[in-house]
Structure 1
Amino acid sequence: MSKPWDGIISEEEQRAYNAAGFGRATGLGKRPALLIIDVQYRTTGTVPKPFWEAIEEYPTSCGDVAWRAVGHIAELLAVFRERQWPVLYPYVAPKQSFDFGRLSDKVPAIMGVAAKGYEFVAEIAPAEHDILLPKKHPSAFFGTPLASYLINAGADTLVVTGCSTSGCVRGSVVDAFAYNFRVLVPQDAVYDRSATSHAVNLFDMASKYADVMPTVDAVAALRAIDQPGPRR
C-alpha cells in the first residue's frame, strides 16, 4: 500500500529507516482521546476554495486540502461521540497586543486575523462537554493543562487531527510521545499548506512517534476496541 511520503522520501532513505528498526506500530490502548487542533476558519477558510483563492480571505488558510481533512475528522468525531470518549480542542485564541513574540516575528499575519477566523469549523464544532484548550504555541501541551485533563480521563491513546501537520500537529505528537501516550495520526485528517512538508512530517512521525494510517483504518481500529474508554 502506498504511503503519503512515497515519491518524496526516497526508497533508499526509507530502507535506511527500516534497517534501523524505525516505524514499528505501537497499536492502540483501551482509552482513546481525540485531539482536534486548530480547525478554525483561519486555517480552512469559510468555504472550500483552492489555496490561492482561500488566502484572499485568510492568509493563514490552507485551502481545499483543509476541507478534505475536515470530512475525515468528522468521521472520527462520530465514533468518539458514539462511544462517549473524550474530545479535546486545542486552539489558537484571538491574539492580543501582548502576544507579540518570536511567532509573530516569523508569521506576522497571525496577528491580524479577523474574529470570524477564530471560530471552530461548524462541521466539527465542540459539543457541550468537550474540553477547550486555548494555546499560544505549537504544542497543545505547552503552557496548557492538557496532560492533566488526559490523566483525569484515564486516556492512554491520543488520536491527533487538525492543523498543521508540520507545526501544531507534529509538536503535539512529539510531546504526547514524550509523555508516553500511544499516538495515532490519521494521515488524511491532518492538513498543511505545503504538500511536501505534510508528507515529510507524516513520514517522520510514523518512523519515530506515532502510528500513521488512513482514517478508514483508524476508524476500524477504534471500533475494534472492546471496552469503552472513560466518559468525559
Structure 2
Amino acid sequence: MRDLWQGIIPESDLAAYRAAGWGNPSGIGRRLALLVIDVQYRTTGTAARPILEAVNEYPTACGEAAWKAVPHIASLIAAFRGQGYPVIFPHVAQKRPHDGGRLASKIPAAMGISQDGYQFVREVAPRQHELTIPKKHPSAFFGTPLASHLVDLGVDTLVLTGCTTSGCIRATAVDGFSYNYKCVVPCDAVYDRGVVPHAVNLFDLSQKYADVMTTADLLGKLDEMAQDAQPDKA
C-alpha cells in the first residue's frame, strides 16, 4: 500500500507514524456490509474522460479516475451479493434551492446538476430489493437511517467504495469508526478528483480509521472467509 503515497508523504512523516505505532490493522469481522457511496453520473460523467473535459458535463465529475474504480466496485458488488452480504447505496440526494447551506456558497455549481446526473451508474446500480439511502451531507451516517439499518442487519464491518476519497468516503469512515465498526477501504474502488487528496486521505485513513487494501486482496480474504465457513466434508 505504500506505493499509493510514495513520494507524496515525506519519509520523515512516515517514520514518525511508524515510531508512534500507528496504522495497525483492525481486521475484518464476520458480518460485512458493502457501502457504494455516490457512484452516480454526477461523479463519474457518462464516459471516461480527462477531468478537465469531464467537468464540462458535470462540474462534480471526477473523470477517468472514477471509471478506473467502477470495475473494482462492480467486482465487490458481485462478491458481496454472491456471499449474501448486504449491499447498500448511500447517494447524493438531488439538490433543491433550500438545500444549499454552505454548499451553495462553497461549490455553487453543485447546486445546478441536472436530474440525469443523479442516476446510478449502470454498471454498479442497485437491485430492486437493495437499500438506497439519500443523503445531503458528506457522511452516509449524517441525517440518515444508515446506523439503524446496520444494527438491524447485525453488521460489524463496513467496506467503503465510491467517492470522493477525501470527502464522503473519509467522512463515512470516520463516523463508522466512531460507531465502533471495523472499516475497510479498497484503495482502487474509491476515487477522487485529485491524485494528492486521494493518496493523502488513504494514508491518513490507513493510519487511524480503516484498513486500506486493494480490491484483489479483499476479494481474497472474502474467499478465505467463505472457505472457512464451509462445513468439513472429510
Q: Does 1:22 align with 2:5?
A: no
Using the size of structure 2 for normalisation, the TM-score is 0.95
Aligned partners of 1:203, 1:93: CA distance in 2, in Å? 29
| 2:202 counterpart letter in structure 1 | L
Greater share of helix: 2
Contact 1:28 1:182 survives alignment (8 Å): yes
The residue number in structure 2 matching 1:162 is 162
The residue number in structure 2 matching 1:77 is 77
Aligned partners of 1:133, 1:171: CA distance in 2, in Å? 16
Cα displacement (A) at 1:101: 0.6
Q: Which runs of 5+ in 1 are unaligned?
A: none
Aligned partners of 1:163, 1:227: CA distance in 2, in Å? 32
The residue number in structure 2 matching 1:217 is 217
Give the alignment's Cα RMSD to 1 decimal: 1.1
Cα displacement (A) at 1:12: 1.2
Using the size of structure 1 for normalisation, the TM-score is 0.96
Give the 5 Å matches for 1:57-206.
Answer: 57-206=57-206
Cα displacement (A) at 1:128: 1.6
Q: Which runs of 5+ in 2 are unaligned?
A: none
* Helix, strand or coil at the partner of 2:30: coil
* Helix, strand or coil at the partner of 1:185: strand
Structure ranking higher on relative contact order (CA contacts 8 Å, 6+ apart): 1
How many residue pairs align between the two structures? 228
Cα displacement (A) at 1:195: 0.5
Q: Deviations over 1:51-73 (max 9, x none)?
A: 11111111110001100001110
Aligned partners of 2:110, 2:59: CA distance in 1, in Å? 9
Cα displacement (A) at 1:187: 0.3
Aligned partners of 2:182, 2:59: CA distance in 1, in Å? 34
| 1:213 counterpart letter in structure 2 | M
Cα displacement (A) at 1:227: 3.9
- Off by >3 Å, runs of 4+ in structure 1: none
Aligned partners of 1:2, 1:17: CA distance in 2, in Å? 13
Contact 1:33 1:88 survives alignment (8 Å): yes
Aligned partners of 1:111, 1:105: CA distance in 2, in Å? 10
The residue number in structure 2 matching 1:51 is 51
Aligned partners of 1:155, 1:173: CA distance in 2, in Å? 15
Q: Deviations over 1:28-56 (max 9, x none)?
A: 00000000000000000011111111111
Aligned partners of 2:173, 2:2: CA distance in 1, in Å? 23
Aligned partners of 1:173, 1:227: CA distance in 2, in Å? 27
Cα displacement (A) at 1:6: 1.2
Aligned partners of 1:189, 1:19: CA distance in 2, in Å? 30
| 1:46 counterpart letter in structure 2 | T
Aligned partners of 1:66, 1:144: CA distance in 2, in Å? 25
* Helix, strand or coil at the partner of 2:60: coil
Contact 1:104 1:111 survives alignment (8 Å): yes
| 1:3 counterpart letter in structure 2 | D
* Helix, strand or coil at the partner of 1:224: helix
Cα displacement (A) at 1:109: 1.1
* Helix, strand or coil at the partner of 1:34: strand
Cα displacement (A) at 1:100: 1.5
State the identity %.
Answer: 57
Aligned partners of 2:20, 2:221: CA distance in 1, in Å? 27
Contact 1:30 1:227 survives alignment (8 Å): no
